[in-house]
Amino acid sequence: MDKNNLGLPIGTTLDRFITRKQDDFPYATGELSQLLRDIALASKIVNREVNKSGLLDITGGIGGKNVQGEEQQKLDVIANIRFIRALKNGGQTCAVVSEEDEEIVHLNPESRYIVAIDPLDGSSNIDVNVSIGTIFSIYRRLSPIGQPVEHSDILQKGKEQIAAGYVLYGSSTMLVYTTGNGVNGFTLEPSLGEFVLSHAGMKSPKDGSIYSINEGSWNQFDQPIRNYIEHCKEEDYTARYIGSLVADFHRNLLKGGVYLYPATSRAVNGKLRLIYECNALAFIAEQAGGKASDGQTRILDLTPTKFHQRTPFIIGSENLVNEAEGFVKGKSKVNSEAS
Ligand code: P6P
């Protein structure tokens, strides 16, 4: 029986795992444990609705647009409601910043934790039954307890996260998270309605041969990115791009690979959001031995200035990210140019 870094066997329930991790931190008050349980609960509810989306009238757009100007899918809105309701009812969250809400959602001012969340990323894939995901980050508030949170509580660097995770609604539903001591993955056992430990101590391969980028945007890429894509082809890497960040990230985490969403002529700061997408996955990637940058700077060192700001994003196996950064920084050339 496999053991993870806590000596807990594969098959341990998420609830017991969280409790055991708390036991390892004598000063833990149980608030973070409860917060993680709140997120897991909401994930199970969203999973149920994602799995029925083809049967109920909840697929497709609602005609509204989120703060990104993207058409809101019904499940986007439902997922956002479910997570915020679970966090509100759990009482351990003072505020939420969500892709689906322009402003801070204030909850329990007596709580010390802030949640940044993309409730349902990749939602354009909902109607075509492609895997989608939830991405979340947890921070401690900086301002005193008992009052509404301030912008500075939200605009913390990613390296200040105390936990981060994602839920992948795929062929099976997985919750993968870190609290800064490694990465562990839990698979939902539908007959039990429980997440159980299935991937203990997840490690990102240092190398790989998968690259994930939307090559349809070739004409929008700058030359260094084009050079890197040509390099991947010369190295006979495999192109895999699902168009759902969580699914692409999860595959690359397991098999080794690199995902890129660079700045383009249309998205001059990239498309992905720093606070509730890139920081969370960067924390997980680094905890698993991988790497994440904007091509120049470590993602977790970036200082956010706006809740919904975007950033160029390169994430995955350490050596592949280093290789891609070499091209972005102009230090590497494709063989044809180098010769
Ligand atoms: P494009 C989904 O909208 C998303 O935010 C990520 O999940 C995905 O990787 C990316 O955008 C896809 O964007 O421009 O390639 O369609």
- What pLDDT was estimated at residue 51? 86
What pLDDT, on the 0 to 100 scale, is given for residue 27? 62
Q: Which ligand 1 atom sits closest to the C-alpha of 246?
A: 7
Span from the CA of 243 to the centroid of ligand 1 (angstroms)? 5
Instruction: Say what percent of the chain tops pLDDT 70.
Output: 91
Domain boundaries, the chain: 14-199, 210-338
Please determine, for residue 1, whether its predicted confidence score (pLDDT) is greater than 60.
Answer: no
| pLDDT computed for residue 26 by the predictor | 61
Q: What is the pLDDT of residues 18-39, one digit of tens each?
A: 988 887 666 667 889 999 999 9
When pLDDT is averaged across residues 137-144 and rounded to a whole number, the result is 97
Closest protein CA for atom 10 of ligand 1:
243
**Does 155 or 74 have the greater pLDDT score?**
155
Q: What is the pLDDT of residues 266-325, one digit of tens each?
A: 999 999 999 999 999 999 999 999 999 999 999 999 999 999 999 999 999 999 999 999
Cα of 244 vs centre of ligand 1, distance in Å, is: 6
Strand order through the sheet with 291-293 = 238-239, 210-212, 258-261, 313-316, 291-293
pLDDT in tens, 42-83: 999 999 998 887 666 667 777 777 777 777 668 889 999 999
Find the residues whose C-beta lies inside 6 A of ligand 1.
Answer: 121-122, 124, 214, 243-245, 248, 271
| pTM of the predicted model as reported, rounded to 2 decimal places | 0.93
- Output the residue whose Cα is nearest ligand 1's atom 15: 214
Q: What does the alpha-carbon distance between residue 210 and residue 319 come to, in Å, rounded to a whole number? A: 12
Counting from 1 in the atom list of ligand 1, the atom nearest the Cα of 212 is 9
Q: When comparing pLDDT for 7 and 285, which is higher? A: 285
Task: Specify whether the CB–CB gap between 200 and 3 falls below 8 A.
Answer: yes
What are 223-277's pLDDT values in tens digits?
999 999 999 999 999 999 999 999 999 999 999 999 999 999 999 999 999 999 9
Residue nearest to atom 16 of ligand 1 (CA): 243
Ranges 21-25, 117-121, 144-148: which has the least confidence? 21-25
Rounded Cα gap, residues 163 and 42, in angstroms: 17
The conformation of residue 242, written as its DSSP 8-state character, comes to -
Q: How far is it, in rounded angstroms, from Cα 211 to Cα 257?
A: 6
pLDDT score recorded for residue 24: 67
Say what the pLDDT of residue 4 is.
Answer: 47
What the block records as the tokens of 205 is: 């391969």
In angstroms, rounded to a whole number, what is the distance separating the alpha carbons of residues 271 and 52?
A: 29
Q: What residues contact residue 336 under an 8 Å CB cut-off, 6+ apart?
A: 230
Q: Tell me the mean pLDDT in the region 121-127.
A: 85
Query: Which pLDDT tens digit goes with each residue over 196-206?
Result: 999 999 999 99
The rounded distance, in Å, linking the Cα atoms of 327 and 295 is 9
Structure confidence at residue 334 (pLDDT):
63
Q: Which atom of ligand 1 is nearest to the CA of 124?
A: 3
Mean pLDDT of the chain: 92
| Residue of 118 and 60 predicted with greater confidence | 118
Protein fold of 210-338: D-Maltodextrin-Binding Protein; domain 2 (3.40.190)
Going by alpha carbons, the residue nearest to atom 9 of ligand 1 is: 245
The 3-state DSSP class for residue 96 equals strand
Q: What does the pLDDT average to over 324-333? A: 86
Which amino acid residue places its CA nearest to atom 12 of ligand 1?
Answer: 243
Is residue 218 scored above 70 in pLDDT?
Answer: yes
Q: Candidates 75, 271, 308: which one to mutate for ligand 1, based on the most atoms within 8 Å of Cβ?
A: 271
- The confidence band for 339, taking pLDDT boundaries of 50, 70 and 90, is very low
**What gap in Å lies between CA 33 and CA 335, rounded to an integer?**
51
- 337: pLDDT strictly greater than 70: no
Torsions phi, psi for 285 (to 5 deg):
-60, -45
Pocket test for ligand 1, best of 67, 245, 248, 308 (most atoms within 8 A of CB): 245
- Classify domain 14-199 at the CATH topology level: Fructose-1,6-Bisphosphatase; Chain A, domain 1 (3.30.540)
Q: Where are the alpha helices (DSSP H) in 94-222?
A: 151-154
Distance, CA 311 to ligand 1 centroid (Å)? 13
HSE-CB at 162 with a 13 A cutoff on CA atoms is 15
Q: What pLDDT is attached to residue 7? A: 77
How large is the average pLDDT for residues 217-227? 97
Q: Are 60 and 127 in contact (CB under 8 A)?
A: yes
